[in-house]
Amino acid sequence: MRRSIILFGLAAIIFTFGCASVFSAQEKLTITKVGTVTYPPKPKKEPVEIFFTGKPEKEYDVIAEASGSFTGEPKDVLQAETRKAGGDAMIITDIDFKIESSKSGLGVEQRTRPADISPTYTPGYSYKVYTIKGQIIKYK
């Protein structure tokens, strides 16, 4: 009986850390600075814009390029990365997602237009992994 409890506990720990590594492996957004100027990060409460379609009407300079994959709510993740880089906004140049399943390990790939972004997690054990390319900008 005691051996069963220990084995069950060990299996639970392995399962927990195994699933955590699946999610953390997906959180890879790379920000590459453009130019020589480094901007300080913006405070969390400071608003930043995310342009999933179109570009801002204001004049701007591109201060960084963003690319990679992540899970989570796209707007929240992208705003956080834009703030870290000291940008005023991010222009998304390409965005895709695929649905991953932590239960079976099988994913169903889909493509979306930026305007089609909907809730991040789907029912059951599946979740969306977003892949983006974009430009972090600073208004003139």
Q: What is the pLDDT of residues 35-69, one digit of tens each?
A: 999 999 999 999 999 999 999 999 999 999 999 99
Inside any domain, residue 112: yes
14 in any annotated domain: no
91 located within any domain? yes
The model's pLDDT over 73-126, given as tens digits with 9 standing for 90+, comes to 899 999 999 999 999 999 999 999 888 776 544 444 444 445 445 444 444 567
What torsion do the CA atoms of 113, 56, 29, 77 make, to the nearest 10 degrees?
Answer: -80
Q: How many folded domains does the chain comprise?
A: 1
Identify whether 9 is part of a domain: no
In a domain, 69, yes or no: yes
Q: Residue 61 falls within a domain, yes or no?
A: yes
Predicted pLDDT of residue 28: 81
Asked if residue 97 belongs to a domain, the reply is yes
* pLDDT-based confidence at residue 27 (cuts at 50, 70, 90): low
| Nearest-angstrom CA–CA distance, 12 and 8 | 6
